[in-house]
A and B are shown apart, each in its own frame.
Chain A
Amino acid sequence: MKYILGFFYLLLIFTTATAQNINTTDSLLQLVQKETDSKKKFDLLITLGGMYVFTNADSAVFFNAKALEIAKQLKVDSLLANSYYALASIEATRNNYEPAFSNCDSAFKYFSAAGNTLALAMVRNVQGGVYMASGRNELASQMYFDAIDYTKNDTASARILYTYHNLVILLNNMNKHNRALEYALRQYEWAKRLNIPDEVAYACSNIADTYMELKDSLNAKIYINRFIEAYKHSADPYLQVIGKNQMGMLKYIEKNYETSAQYFLQSLTLNNNLVDQQLGCITLLSLGRVYQKMNKYSMADSCFLKAIDISRELNIKEERKSAFEMLIANALVQKDYKKAYTYMESLQNIRDTLLNEKTEMAIADAEAKYKLGEKQQELELAHAERRIQTADASRQRTSKLIILFSAAGIFLMTMLLFNRYKLKKELEKHNMLLEERTRIGRELHDDLGGGLSTIRLMTEMIKDPQFGMNGSYLNNISFKSKELIQNMNEIVWSLNNGNDNIAGMIVYIRQYAGTFLEDANIVLSFEQQQTVPDIEVDGHTRRHIFLVIKEALHNIVKHSGADEVKIHISINDHFTISIADNGKGISDTQREVPGNGLRNMQQRIDVLKGRFHIIQQPGTTITFSIPCTSFYNKSVS
């Protein structure tokens, strides 16, 4: 049993110990004292613990406890797991099952957190060993099956071999020889594939033992021979003991009892150094059997009795039971019925206790299984929690990323929007420009084209006497030309950026009104507030305002018959201009006539978001009011 548990401990040492070539524990101790790096100190402590494991378990526990403290400080799952695992192994070796189990649980928890499935298999092996040692075979097999599960993907690992080895022994103990054979053969194949002679030897030994249990000495012989082939050059002392046993078994099969007994005796001698008493017990039973065959009953009896002593000491009842059965058989052969009866009583006792134990064990197993299930649930819960924590962390990372990306996104969006805005503005400006061009084109077309065409046609027709057109048409042409020049002037004025303030516009209106009304012999009185704010007015707005006023003035000259016009301009948040005449007013029929200019005025005022109203009597007063906010928002200049 020590073999099983100790083996894993050594394995752990190999995995954790540094490659430093340190031979003595003293120098290691010095190193530990000097070491400042926690991780290295941890490794050294674990190594030290490993060195004391067989010689001084207390020291081993001490060093591993120190290592555990460091691991707790570092809060590294894998280190925590390793130290718990080491402690579990030591306690298992010392047959302290409870601490072994609890340490195993902790180790399992941290290994599983670290996601180390191979280490999980190792923990299960230790647990299996402890269960096996405490006689809870069902649970032990459960552990080993688990361990196999954890290692099955790691085809390069030799660790699964130890699991197989222990499982085969366990299954044979449980009298499940066929299943034991199955796993023993797997162990053999695996060992062959990895090409480790010692492991092949162990596997062969297991197979041979199992065949012997199955009373198949032919196959047992084959594997004993394979075993001999594999173990020949091995330095493993334990394997040497097994080797002697196997040789003894081979000779026993060959009915060469003399030689067989010699091998078993050699085995016992070799085993004295190893102190594996269980194996020794088994060897004694085998030797007893050989002596029985040799009819050396007293020697056989002493072997069996010694085995019973050992098994009593080790509290291994199966072997004791076998020993008593052998003793009974021996007594019966010697016809010593009294002796046989005594042994039978003992056997019955053992059987009873075994039965009781088995029942108790079954109950304990059920309890343990239940607890195991609970623990697994706890573990799963812990895992779930951990996953949630990880998810939380990643969510936090994600939200950080989201914030970052959002910021970048917002920045980009702003840039894009700004660009779009700029583009839109430019497009608007461009459209404005096109609109302005169209407007100028239309105005040139309407005001100049039509007028000039008329002059052209008129002059042509004056030249032709058949139309009888006299000098009055020449005056007409003169008047038309003057009008056209004025129109041209207005268009140019509205296009000139230099005129784009409200004061300039008022001056222009005043000049136009003065000249125009003077020609019509109408007196103009022009009033405006003293201070004119410096407000910009774009050409478009200027043109509309001017044309509205022009239209009004033309209507007065053409239709009102007035001889006096008062223009009043005030500017606050609105530009308000009222044009009052003392004429006859606008008749309803005049309002109805298309092209009377009123609709035109309305349209222009609408464009500027202003209002205009006409008050009749006395004369006519037209008032336009345009918000100053309209003055520059359609600018293209």
Chain B
Amino acid sequence: MISIGIIEDLDDYRKLLQLLLEHTEDMQVLFSVRSAEEGIIECGDTAPTVCIVDINLPGRSGIDFVRWITAHHPGTLCLMCTAYDTDDKVFQSLEAGAHGYILKATPPGGIVEAVKELYNGGSPMSSEVARKVVSAFSRKKAPETVALSDREKEVLELLSTGLFYKEISLQLNISIETVKRHCFNIYQKLHVSNRTEAVNKFKGW
């Protein structure tokens, strides 16, 4: 059973999401709210496994919520909900701790699939996001423990040139799931390196 929280300010869309996921097997909507502030209140004691978060929210943004939940409930996976994946804020969310994103125009089956994938440790990554991740890692000088593996680097490189998951899996002779897993791990390392940087900054290094 995957417990889910929804934070979306568009009433119709939020209700549709809620309806969709409640009708899906092994999924349970813990809360469905229209602002980050309400979401934080809902996540007080127990947080859901997956949070579907809209980026542009009234008041505090979806990115703020991701940052908060990553700090307080590290086990919760965030799936950002956006109209366009070229938005800068998508990458900012991923950097803040999100592990994936869905486009709002994604059909119902796709949304459910995305949640399941995320739950199983796989992430989507567009070429746009991949490029930003590459530059983020080259910029950050991450410590050894969060350095990308050679395979991850390969995946990132291919993604950033615009290849689809299927093409990458064929080229590297790995399954699509493995590609998605690599992406998930890359995001994971991105958060860690981002947090490390934050800690370093805090200590004044």
Contact = CB atoms under 8 A, between A and B. Distances in A.
Interface of A: 442, 445-446, 449-454, 456-458, 460-461, 464, 466-467, 469, 476, 480, 594-595, 599-600
Given A594-B58, A599-B58, A466 B23 contact: yes
B75 to A, nearest CB: 26
Contact of A594 (B38, B103, B107): B38
A148 to B, nearest CB: 79
B16 A457 contact: yes
Contacts of A467: 19-20, 23
Interface of B: 9-10, 12-13, 16-17, 19-20, 23, 34-35, 37-38, 56-59, 83-84, 87, 103-108, 111
Contacts of B111: 457
Contacts, number: 69
B9 A457 contact: no
Contacts of A469: 19
Contacts of A442: 56
Given A445-B83, A445-B84, A450-B13, A460 B108 contact: yes
A267 B31 CA distance: 145
Contacts of B35: 594-595
Contact of B10 (A450, A476, A594): A450
Contacts of A599: 58-59
Nearest to A452: B105
Contacts of A461: 16, 19-20, 108
Given A466-B23, A467-B19, A453 B105 contact: yes
**A-side interface mostly:** helix
A254 to B, nearest CB: 110
A451 to B, nearest CB: 8
A595 B104 contact: no
A437 to B, nearest CB: 14
Given A464-B108, A600-B58, 6 more contacts: A450-B83, A453-B83, A456-B104, A456-B107, A594-B38, A595-B59
Given A464-B108, A595-B34, A449 B83 contact: yes
A457 B83 contact: no
B58 A450 contact: no
Given A445-B83, A449-B83, A454 B104 contact: yes
Contacts of B9: 595
Given A445-B83, A450-B104, A594-B37, A457 B13 contact: yes
A476 B12 contact: yes
Contact of B104 (A449, A464, A476, A600): A449
Contacts of A452: 105
B53 to A, nearest CB: 14
B19 A454 contact: no
The 10 closest A-B pairs by CB, nearest first: A449-B83, A453-B104, A595-B58, A594-B59, A594-B35, A454-B13, A453-B105, A454-B12, A460-B107, A450-B10
Contacts of B20: 457, 461, 467
A465 to B, nearest CB: 11
A480 B15 CA distance: 14
A456 B35 CA distance: 23
A460 B107 CA distance: 7
B13 A453 contact: yes
